[in-house]
Amino acid sequence: MHAKKHFHLGKHFWRREHKTAVADGRAVTLGTLPAGKTATIAELQGGRGFTTRMAALGFTPGAEVTMIQNFGRGPIIVLVRGTRIALGRGEAERVWITPNGGNAHGES
């Protein structure tokens, strides 16, 4: 449980860690994930309303997402926790992911 440790390290450590992941080029936005590929959610950006709605649908750091449809423009479809969710392009750009393999925040 890495995440647990992070929370003890300070209030924003967890978030900063992802910011570095972004800076390293390890994290990218969900909108860039090609169809058929799977990734792990690193961070959600956006207001609390957005975060809580996404979290309720299963988008939490550590969860796996599989891209089902992504044509580079317009909305996308992803599979998260067994459910197909359609997201607008804008929403997809607010979800940061790390391509699978570099799993920094395994939930289990």
Partner 1 sequence: MANREETARSVPSVLGACCADGSGPVQPAGPCTIRVALVGQPNVGKSTVFNLLTGMNQHVGNWPGKTVERKEGIHRCDGVDIQIVDLPGTYSLTANSLEERITRDYIIHERPDVVVMVADAASLERNLYLLSEILCLPAPVVLALNMVDVAQQQGLGIEPHVLEAALGLPVVPMVASKNQGVRELVDTVLRVYREGPRGVCRPDIREDHREVLAELVNLIAGSVPEPYPEDWVALKMLEGDEEITEMMRARLTPEQWERVHRVLMRHEDAILAIAGGRYEWVRRMTRAALTVPKAGQITLTDRIDKVATHPVWGLFVLLGVLGAIFWLTYTIGSPIQAFLDRYLIQAGAEWVRTAFAAAPWWVTGLLADGVIGGAGMVLTFLPILVIFFAVLGALEDIGYMARAAYVMDRFMHLMGLHGKSFLPLFLGFGCNVPAVMGARIVDSPKARLLTILVAPLVPCTARMAVVAVLAPIFFGSAAIWVSWGLIALSLVVLAVVGIALHELVLGGEHVAFIMELPLYHTPNARTIGLSVWQRTMGFVRKAGTIILIVSVVVWALSVLPRGEVDTSILAAVGRFLSPLGALMGVGWQMMVALLTSFVAKENTIATLSVLLGVGGEEAGLAQVLPTLLTPASALAFLVVQVLFIPCAATVATMRQETGSWKWTAFSVVLLFVLSFAVGIGVYQLALLAGWGV
Residue 30's SS3 state is helix
Task: Name which of 28 and 68 has its Cβ closer to partner 1.
Answer: 68
Binding positions for partner 1, rule: CB under 8 A: 3-4, 7-8, 11-12, 14-15, 38, 44, 48-58, 60-63, 66, 68-69, 71, 73-75, 77, 81-88, 90-91, 107-108
The residue whose two tokens read 């390293």 is 24
Query: How far does Cα 107 stand from its chain's mean position?
Result: 13
> Cβ 41 to partner 1, closest distance in Å?
10
> Cβ 98 to partner 1, closest distance in Å?
15
> Cβ 47 to partner 1, closest distance in Å?
9
Could you tell me the two tokens for 86? Answer: 């359609």
User: 3-state DSSP: the chain helix, strand, coil percent, rounded to 5?
Assistant: 35, 30, 40
Task: Name which of 23 and 83 has its Cβ closer to partner 1.
Answer: 83
Task: Name which of 28 and 75 has its Cβ closer to partner 1.
Answer: 75
Alpha carbons 5 and 43: distance in angstroms, whole number: 17
